[in-house]
Amino acid sequence: MIVLGPTPLTVEEVVAVARERAPVRVADDLDAAMAPARDVVAAALAENRTVYGVTTGFGALATTRVAPELAEQMQYALVQSHAAGMGPDIDAEVVRAMQLLKARTLAAGASGARPELVRGIAVLLNAGITPAVPELGSLGASGDLAPLAHAAIVLLGNGWVRDDADGGGRRDAADALRDAGIEPLQLQAKEGLALINGTEGMLAYLCLALADLDVLVRTADVACALSVEALRGTDAPFAQRIQDLRPHPGQRASAANLRRLLAGSPIVASHRGADHQAVQDAYSLRCAPQVHGACRDVVEWVRRVVHTELASVTDNPVVFEGGDVVSTGNFHGQPLAFAADFATIAVADLAAIAERRIDRLMDPSRSDGLPPFLAPQAGINSGLMLAHYTAAALVNRLRGHAAPASCDTISTSAGQEDHVSMGWNACVSLRRAVLDAMRVTAIELVCAAEAVELRGIAPAAATGAAVACLRERVPRMDVDRFLAPDLVAAEGLVRGGAVLRALPEPLQ
């Protein structure tokens, strides 16, 4: 049970609710935590003070005065008009993470909203009612206005929800709430703005990405170790003393994983010191800890950004107990935009080096005795030739994902919002990049496992366990067959973490 209150959530808690549909409840002290700021808003309204978003319009309309008796109507209108997204709906787990994070922001007690909003979001999460949120519309400054509005409008009995019975289509939120016996909420002053202003959409993407990246970077080490064995490479460059000379944390971790994975490898031992062993392996083998490790270091930097954001309030304006209601810039998504773009660049290169190893496995002039394209009867059979093509196509697309969104800005709201982060688009690209990199890693596992078995010498215990895991779903390919189902199965093993769970001991 995940508790919604002033205490920041963890990435693990966000993933549990978003992906595993863990139930949530509100903290016992929720009302007490939110009451002081709500009282400030009520007083400002009663005194007819000029307060942005309470007695004024929004954005470029901030100088337009709104009578206190129209405050509630204005909040309702805001949510309606800002639910203006287009395109396909984002995945349900992203929406659920976004809802949870918005509820936590409100519960922090600096938004001036009532506890009823937090309880309303919790009810939707526990009932499995997920707003249908179109992908296009957020600029990542003033937060994720359009996506959050599409989530908020469902609380009011309007908009769309996902219809899982219809294959992820849409149905009217009013019907879904009625069928579930849930009463729509009535917004009060400041509450529409509090529901749609903030970085929770970008943060949702990044929390889920971190969970997937933790699987990806470790599985990439497994695939690399198999390729080292398959290509008769050496484990000498992964020695501890070499890493000590350049002690980047990610490099040290990746090298330690490769040493553990290759420990006791009969394949590596079979050619250690032999006359035919290359003086130096290709960079895609020898420099794997440096490249994989650099990606890991980026992931850890992203983790620090996310940890800070999870403990933040990104609403505007914010409300202090002393009576101040202050306009801020905390909703600007630049920290998250940079994090998403940098992570995508790192992931693209992690896939690129994996593709280079796949390429070597295909080429008999560089694979040290393996048949062309790993086909025992090359010519009659094409082997895994087209699996490499798919990896190359994925890497090309990854380089497109890696084009940074965060260095662009387009002025909006009549010039009031004249610099935006484009962080939402950066986060969407990161999600796609992680999935594509997992596909490249799956292809490397398929190809390297095939090559290792063609060697006729047992692999290390750890890499052998990875091959055994793969063989439960993907048989060895002695003659050509319909290959796409094998690649899909391997992708599922990577994404689900099955390859890592099969190892005799966990990796760093």
Cα angle, residue 75 at apex, residues 69 and 77 outer, rounded to 5°: 105
Summarize the confidence of residues 330-344 as an average pLDDT.
97
Q: Give the number of other Cβ atoms within 10 Å of residue 263's Cβ.
A: 14
Asked whether residue 188 is domain-assigned, the answer is: yes
Would you call 205 a catalytic residue per the annotation?
Answer: no
pLDDT average, residue stretch 198-208? 98
Does one domain contain both 146 and 261? no
pLDDT given for residue 276 in this prediction: 52
Average pLDDT score, the chain: 95
Q: Are 352 and 358 in contact (CB under 8 A)?
A: no
The pLDDT of 463-476, averaged and rounded, is 98
Q: Which residues contact 282 (CB under 8 A, 6 or more apart)?
A: 356, 360, 366
Q: Of 494, 436, 404, 484, give the one whose Cα is nearest residue 222.
A: 494
Task: Point out the domain boundary residue: 198, 224, 246.
Answer: 198
Q: Please state, for a pLDDT cut of 70, what percent of the chain lies above it.
A: 98
Residues 227 and 128 reside in one and the same domain: no
Type of residue at 39 = D
Looking at the structure, do residues 10 and 145 belong to the same domain, yes or no?
yes
Nearest to 356 by CA among 286, 298, 277: 286
Q: State whether 95 and 223 are in the same domain.
A: no
Q: Do 227 and 179 share a structural domain?
A: no
CA angle (503 as vertex; 464, 237 as ends), nearest 5: 70
Looking at residue 80, its amino acid is Q
Query: pLDDT digit string (tens) for 365-422?
Result: 999 999 999 998 999 999 999 999 999 999 999 999 999 999 999 999 888 888 999 9
Are residues 236 and 311 both part of a single domain? yes
Residue 411 has a CB neighbour count (10 Å cut-off) of 12
Q: Are residues 338 and 234 in the same domain?
A: yes
Q: What is the mean pLDDT of residues 77-104?
A: 97
Rg (CA), the chain: 26
Tell me the pLDDT tens digit for each residue of 413-460: 888 888 999 999 999 999 999 999 999 999 999 999 999 999 999 999
Q: Determine the pLDDT at residue 277.
A: 55
294 and 148 in a single domain? The answer is: no
- The model carries a pTM of 0.96
506 in a structural domain: no
Q: What is the CATH number of the domain that holds 269?
A: 1.20.200.10
Over 80: is that where the pLDDT of 58 sits? no
The verdict on residue 508 lying in a domain is: no
CATH number at residue 57: 1.10.275.10
Q: What angle do CA 77, 79, 82 make, to 5 degrees?
A: 100
* Domain match, 138 and 232 both: no
Binned at pLDDT 50, 70 and 90, residue 265 comes out as: very high
Angle, CA 242 vertex, CA 238 and CA 248 arms, to 5°: 90
Q: Is residue 507 part of a domain?
A: no
Per-residue burial over 471-506, b if 16 or more Cβ lie within 10 Å, else e, is eeebeebeeeeebeebbebbbebbbebbbbebbeee
Q: What is the pLDDT of residues 157-195, one digit of tens each?
A: 999 999 987 777 999 999 999 999 999 999 999 999 999
* 30 and 75 inside one domain: yes
What is the signed CA dihedral for 133, 404, 392, 489, rounded to 10 degrees?
Answer: -30
Region 342-371: mean pLDDT is: 97
pLDDT of res. 274: 57
Domain-located, residue 321: no
Count of domains forming the chain: 2
Say yes or no to pLDDT of 62 above 80.
no
Find the catalytic residue in 52, 76, 205, 283. 52
Q: 159 lies in which domain range? A: 2-198
Residues 6+ apart with CB under 8 A from 129: 154, 161, 173, 176, 177, 180, 182
Last residue in a domain, options 134, 165, 198: 198
Report pLDDT for 399. 98
Domain membership flag for residue 53:
yes
Residues 146, 151, 157, 160: what is their CA dihedral angle, to the nearest 10 degrees?
80
pLDDT average, residue stretch 132-157: 96
Residues 18 and 161 both lie in one domain: yes
Examine the fold and report which residue of 147, 163, 198 is the final residue of a domain before the chain moves on: 198
Across 48-57, 154-163, 353-362, least confident range: 48-57
CA dist., res. 195 & res. 218, Å (int): 37
Of 185, 180, 190, residue with least CA distance to 72: 190
pLDDT in tens, 269-321: 988 775 555 568 999 999 999 999 999 999 999 999 999 999 999 999 999 98
Same domain flag for 185 and 249: no
- Residue type at 139? L
What percent of the chain clears pLDDT 90, i.e. is strictly above it? 87
